[in-house]
A and B are shown apart, each in its own frame.
Chain A
Amino acid sequence: MIDYKSALDKVLLNVQKPSRYVGGEVGAVYKNVEPVRGESLLRFAFCFPDTYEIGMSHLGLKILYSLINSVPHYWCERVFMPADDMYEAMIENNIKLYGLESLEPIADFDFIGFTLQYELTYTNILAMLDLAGVPLLAKDRHYPIVIGGGPCACNPEPMAAFFDLFVIGEGEEVTLELLKLYEKFKARNAEKEEFLRAAANIKGVYVPSLYDVKYNDDKSVKEIVPIDSAPMPITKRIVEDLDKAYFPTNFVVPFCDIVHDRAVVEVLRGCFRGCRFCQAGFIYRPYREKTKETIVSQLSRLCDNTGYDEASLTSLSTSDYSDIEGLLSQICEYTNKNNIGLSLPSLRVDKFSSQVLEKIKSVRKSGLTFAPEAGTQRLRDVINKNVTEADLEKSCRIAFSGGYSSVKLYFMVGLPTETLEDIEGIITLIENVIEVYYDVGKTLQKAEKAKTKIRPVSVSVSLSTFVPKPFTPFEFEPQVSKEEFDARRRHLLSLLNNKKVRISWSDYDESFLEAVLARGDRRLSDVILRAYKLGCRADAWGEHFKPNLWEQAFADCGVEPQFYALRKREYDEIMPWAHLDMGLKKEFLIKENKRGLLNE
């Protein structure tokens, strides 16, 4: 491998932040590739289809990396999407995509695993497979086995042609079961298909080639038929007891700066709030908490082992933890003693008593963020976002009194049943927040009899386009059209004349593609492949996104994207993901849909 590494050596000094491409960080796991006691090493490439800085911030990667490496004869390595300069240098110098630990090409590994975090990373997956030098289509490939998991695997159909199997649900248990099974087949040099048929019997494993999809004349799905008595439906895996679930005691500590560079512990999984647009809120059910003792011990151990001076808690909604006060005061005992900063993204301040607020004063404030999502109470009821204007006002009052002078508000545009009145409601809400700020400021001024000027408030408003997602009560709903979206956007901007408010919009074309891929079927594999061949890559990296090339790819394949994104789907339509069981009955989703839209 000497030549290969020296080729790498030649390019690394000509690219930005080369330490991202060589591994060797503290906490990185190294193993002997020579067989030990007759057991040969099973090699696993954990691929994150985005940059090192983003992938290294991802807790799922840290968990599975440590989990696989906890088995002595399994070696899991990290692989990320190289940034543009490195990507081009690798192609130019014929350097194949390699694992960061061994610096050896992943094409020779046993498994290549991708996490499907976001639809717009799909072309990166193809780019990485291509860079690795393995055939893109599963049917053209023998080994390595290419597997996928993560949130988008709840409807992996658009990526079905490229993957040998998907893991549906949580990976902590099923991953090792899968690797153990593979060892048996590897030992006797079995065909890939034989292994896949056996793997399909593991709960949570979905082998797309074992299912045949038939279509109606109107292009919707007619039937999904299992081949060779493959299981039907495929049921997602969950970890019953979070306290007993595998959690790493150490992280790889990067040399360079990454997005979230700190020790982090998951406090709970799932969410009981049931916001109807939120896919995570439904697919990660049921709601489970770790005990305080587990959280505190995991966090302190991580800080000790990594040397991080910043720690954080993560979950879909940390404020919902049943004894959040007790938890935070226990954590602060450790972090204050060890001079570790605790940062808590989007906590609900109104939940805390003043004693606890005092105790967590040292907590690094990551800025005040609220997500009312919709401008009027009517629409918030439709989407089941249980935040009232009074809640928002109360929280803002507490926060502004505590010294915050900037606030971030999140809204969605294009929600089902939305009218221009709801758009106007967004403006009213923003204005109310500003009013509350100056009201609090004046009260404080009076109380302190100070003549100090009130600092100007800054409000950032982020508007995203609603994307209907599978396994939510809104999976039947159309996305708003570009024309309609533009009309609503113009209306909002025409009403806004306050310089203290900064507005940012998500790109409609990106959201549209996301909507197509999120609820797409297998026929989209051709389109994704075509788009990649046309030069689409890193669609999530803003400047890379080329909607015209995607348009061409759809046209070349004779596929209408509007069919997937803009069409209202009937309750009795068979969804492309109908064979996957995420623990949610379709009747429940229909009932919730009606409750939201028809107030039934």
Chain B
Amino acid sequence: MNNHQEFTDVRVFFSKTGIAKYISHLDLYRTVQRALKRAKLPVWETQGFNRHIYLTFALPLSLGTQGCRESMDMRLVSPLPFDEMSLRLNNALCNSIRILETATPIMKHTMIKKAEYKIADINIETFGEFLNSEKIEVEKKTKKKKTLIDLKPFIEGVKLNDTDITLTLPAGNDFNINPVLLIEGYKNFMSEKERALVAEGSLTRTRVLTADGEEFR
């Protein structure tokens, strides 16, 4: 087998919306692998004993959160116009996952430091009050223990819109705050009466950003 195969790195940007929010990260990985096979794209496969298509995601999305512009990296072993790559992959994927663009990667995954989220289906006023609290303490679960963490200092760029709220949280491999924590905090903040009346909130990751607030490319 040729271990010194030439390849080109490509970054594929996609959206994962609607029912796709119920697809877990592991299932998304498998779904894309099969789509690449169906589309018969010339993608590089790892050359080990258990050959599989090389595929890596910049920032996994948690179950239940939609994504407007997510990205995954793979390698092409023969040249292919980026537009054709996007088109063929789109045809092989389900409707709830759409390819937006195929491009040459510019940044490294480690440059991701923040992400912008949109929170909809909530009472904007109550949520605004919640964000104005002095402390927003929630339980953060790691593999072994639960720790109490104050989210307040990490929330940036809050914008209250007519029907939703946008804000930015730390993201990336070093330090990541899952916005689901914020929703949990919000649920605790609401009175019981409000909880029964108000929808639980739906989350969308709108942008993946660098430390300077530049969009990840």
A and B together in one complex = yes
Q: Which residues of A contact B (CB under 8 A)?
A: 6, 9-10, 12-13, 17-19, 21-26, 28, 253, 255-257, 304-309, 339
Chain A residues, Cβ within 8 Å of B23: 19, 255
| Known A13-B63, A256-B27, A339-B51; contact A304-B19, beta-carbon cutoff 8 A | no
B34 within 8 A of A: yes
| Known A10-B200, A19-B27; contact A306-B34, beta-carbon cutoff 8 A | yes
B135 within 8 A of A: no
Pick the interface stretch among B79-87, B91-99, B140-148, B150-158. B91-99
* Most chain A CB neighbours (cut-off 10 Å) among B22, B36, B63, B95: B22
Residue of A nearest to B27 (CB): A255
Among B19, B34, B92, B93, contact of A23 (Cβ-Cβ < 8 Å): B19
Interface residues of B in 150-168 (CB under 8 A from A): none
| Contact (Cβ within 8 A) B27 A309 | no
Jot down 26 A-B pairs with beta carbons below 8 A, ordered by A.
A10-B199, A12-B22, A13-B200, A17-B24, A18-B63, A19-B19, A22-B19, A22-B22, A24-B20, A24-B94, A24-B95, A26-B38, A26-B92, A253-B34, A255-B30, A256-B27, A257-B27, A306-B34, A307-B33, A307-B34, A307-B36, A307-B37, A308-B34, A308-B37, A309-B34, A309-B37
Q: What is the bound-complex CA distance between A23 and B19, given in angstroms?
A: 8
B123 within 8 A of A: no
* Most chain B CB neighbours (cut-off 10 Å) among A9, A18, A23, A307: A307
Q: What is the bound-complex CA distance between A253 and B31, given in angstroms?
A: 8
Chain B residues, Cβ within 8 Å of A24: 18-20, 94-96
Q: What is the bound-complex CA distance between A25 and B38, given in angstroms?
A: 14
| Contact (Cβ within 8 A) A26 B94 | yes
- How many chain B residues touch the partner (CB < 8 A)? 29
Among A10, A19, A26, A253, contact of B22 (Cβ-Cβ < 8 Å): A19
Q: Which residues of B contact A (CB under 8 A)?
A: 18-20, 22-24, 27-28, 30-31, 33-38, 45, 51-52, 63-64, 92-96, 199-200, 202
Residue of A nearest to B50 (CB): A341
Residue of A nearest to B32 (CB): A307
| Contact (Cβ within 8 A) A305 B38 | yes
Residue of B nearest to A25 (CB): B94
Q: What is the bound-complex CA distance between A28 and B38, given in angstroms?
A: 15
* Most chain A CB neighbours (cut-off 10 Å) among B19, B33, B93, B202: B19
Chain B residues, Cβ within 8 Å of A306: 34, 38
Q: What is the bound-complex CA distance between A257 and B34, given in angstroms?
A: 13
Chain B residues, Cβ within 8 Å of A22: 19, 22
Residue of A nearest to B200 (CB): A10
Q: List 11 additional contacts besides A9-B202, A18-B22, A255-B30; criterion CB under 8 Å.
A: A6-B199, A19-B19, A19-B23, A22-B19, A22-B22, A24-B94, A26-B35, A26-B93, A26-B94, A304-B38, A309-B37
Chain A residues, Cβ within 8 Å of B64: 13
Chain B residues, Cβ within 8 Å of A26: 31, 34-35, 38, 92-94
Chain B residues, Cβ within 8 Å of A13: 22, 63-64, 200
Chain A residues, Cβ within 8 Å of B94: 24-26, 28
Q: Smallest CB–CB gap between B23 and chain A, Å?
A: 5
Q: What is the bound-complex CA distance between A23 and B95, given in angstroms?
A: 11
Q: What is the bound-complex CA distance between A19 and B21, given in angstroms?
A: 9
Chain A residues, Cβ within 8 Å of B202: 9
Q: What is the bound-complex CA distance between A357 and B35, given in angstroms?
A: 32
Residue of A nearest to B93 (CB): A26
Q: Smallest CB–CB gap between A142 and chain B, Å?
A: 33
Chain A residues, Cβ within 8 Å of B30: 255, 257
Q: Smallest CB–CB gap between A352 and chain B, Å?
A: 24
Q: Smallest CB–CB gap between A13 and chain B, Å?
A: 5
Q: Smallest CB–CB gap between A7 and chain B, Å?
A: 11
| Contact (Cβ within 8 A) A255 B199 | no
Chain A residues, Cβ within 8 Å of B92: 26, 307
Residue of B nearest to A18 (CB): B22
Chain B residues, Cβ within 8 Å of A255: 22-24, 27-28, 30-31
Q: Smallest CB–CB gap between A354 and chain B, Å?
A: 24
Q: Smallest CB–CB gap between A362 and chain B, Å?
A: 11
Closest 3 CB pairs of A and B: A307-B34, A307-B37, A307-B38
Q: What is the bound-complex CA distance between A491 and B28, given in angstroms?
A: 51
Chain B residues, Cβ within 8 Å of A10: 199-200
Chain B residues, Cβ within 8 Å of A25: 94
Q: What is the bound-complex CA distance between A309 and B22, given in angstroms?
A: 24
Q: Smallest CB–CB gap between A515 and chain B, Å?
A: 40
Chain A residues, Cβ within 8 Å of B96: 24
Residue of A nearest to B34 (CB): A307
Q: Smallest CB–CB gap between A526 and chain B, Å?
A: 40
Residue of A nearest to B180 (CB): A13
Q: What is the bound-complex CA distance between A307 and B91, given in angstroms?
A: 13
Q: Smallest CB–CB gap between A4 and chain B, Å?
A: 14
Chain A residues, Cβ within 8 Å of B34: 26, 253, 306-309
| Known A13-B64, A24-B95, A26-B94; contact A307-B24, beta-carbon cutoff 8 A | no
Q: What is the bound-complex CA distance between A308 and B33, given in angstroms?
A: 9
Q: Smallest CB–CB gap between A591 and chain B, Å?
A: 51
